[in-house]
Amino acid sequence: MKKTLHKAQTERGVTLMEMLVVLVLAGLIFWGLMTQYSRSSTTAYDQNIKISTVLEAQAMLQSVGSEIRMLGNGVPFDQANFRIGENTLTDPTVTEPIQLATAAANTITFRLNETGDVFLLTADFDPAVNTTVSLTDVSTLDANDPIYMSNSVVAEEDGFYAIIQSVNTGANTITLDAATYVYSPGATFAKGSILEEVPLVTYSQDASGINRNSGFGSVLMGPNSTMTLEYLDEAGNAVALPLTTVSIVDSLRAIRVTISHDSSNALSDGTPFTAVARQTYGIRNLNYLY
């Protein structure tokens, strides 16, 4: 009887020990799994922040760069009588594709036909005689828009700049402010000449980030971001600032844009993540000699 009782107690003791070992092992395994899960969650959290920040920086870079690549589009400075810095004009600065006075390492103002719209003159226009221009369509034009005209399509070599004073949608005409006229001496623009709206576009930065303004007020397009511009010649060497008419025509062939963007949320260690995106953009519209 005693032998049987001792055997039963021994069996119960072994079973209890086994249970304790199992519980300890299970706890260790659970702790390991939770630790691994926590590490994986932290890694995933940080990785998501890094990826989104990089994508935001690249998106800003492409927005700035795509317009810089096309700067000067719409300005007829390929016309022999309206080239960059043409000294026969009353105001040669209207032919500057980049505003020389403001070009800097983190600011650039340039002329660009943003929409790509091109309007045809439906009647001859002589700036020395009148202020009304007849066009195929005026629906996207507004008062105070800056416009350029070129008579290249009718085999002439002239250009014209002015500000729209008013728009008549019923008659498809615009009235220009004669006080703003800048054009090649003696130039006329025959039916079939082209007109384009070409505003000044400015990219700059302040404490909030990167801003864009094309005449309708500044828009914050890159919060927590900075922009650096490097003006380059054909060999990739820096063109010295301040830019000049000569350096634009003879040397400037590309602009390298660098965007640094801080994440809106901190990483798991409490620090922000900074993404850097950089690309060099060749300029398509400036390769014209005097």
Percent of residues, the chain, with pLDDT higher than 70 = 86
- Rounded distance, CA 120 to CA 149, Å? 9
Q: Quick: pLDDT tens for 85-136.
A: 899 999 999 999 999 989 999 999 999 999 999 999 999 999 999 999 999 9
- The mean pLDDT of the chain is 89
Predicted confidence (pLDDT) at residue 290 exceeds the cutoff of 50: no
Predicted confidence (pLDDT) at residue 144 exceeds the cutoff of 90: yes
Quote the pLDDT of residue 237. 97
Mean pLDDT in residue range 233-243 = 94
